[in-house]
């Protein structure tokens, strides 16, 4: 999460938080970092799951970066 804190505007739209229950939340913009949780605007896997999310760090299974990597050819 240190990279997000350093550049929240540039890297946040590429981040998906995969929770311990395998639910995926896509981060649109980070609102704030607290000692025990993160607050962000984003969307979930369901079509109408959009809004502000308060996610405790211990509920995050892993962070997945979604980024297209081109070939060097």
Segment 2-41, tens digit of pLDDT: 555 555 555 556 899 999 999 999 999 999 999 999 999 9
Nearest-10 Cα torsion for 68, 59, 22, 27: -30
Tell me, yes or no, whether 19 lies in a domain.
yes
- What CATH number has the domain bearing residue 42? 2.30.30
Tell me, yes or no, whether 47 lies in a domain.
yes
Identify the pLDDT of residue 1: 53
Find out whether 63 and 18 touch, Cβ atoms under 8 Å.
yes
Tell me, yes or no, whether 7 lies in a domain.
yes
CA of residue 40 relative to chain centroid, distance: 8
* Selection from 15, 3, 66 nearest residue 42 by Cα: 15
Q: Domain range spanning residue 6? A: 2-65
Identify the pLDDT of residue 35: 96
Neighbours of 35 (CB within 10 A): 5
How many folded domains does the chain comprise? 1
Tell me, yes or no, whether 72 lies in a domain.
no
Neighbours of 47 (CB within 10 A): 7
pTM of the predicted structure, to 2 decimals: 0.72
Tell me, yes or no, whether 70 lies in a domain.
no
């Amino acid at each position: 999460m240190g990279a997000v804190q350093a550049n929240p505007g540039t890297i946040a739209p590429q981040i998906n938080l995969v929770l311990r229950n395998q639910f995926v939340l896509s981060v649109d913009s980070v609102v704030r970092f607290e000692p025990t949780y993160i607050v962000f605007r984003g969307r979930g896997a369901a079509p109408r799951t959009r809004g502000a999310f308060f996610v405790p760090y211990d509920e995050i299974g892993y962070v997945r970066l979604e980024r297209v990597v081109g070939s060097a050819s």
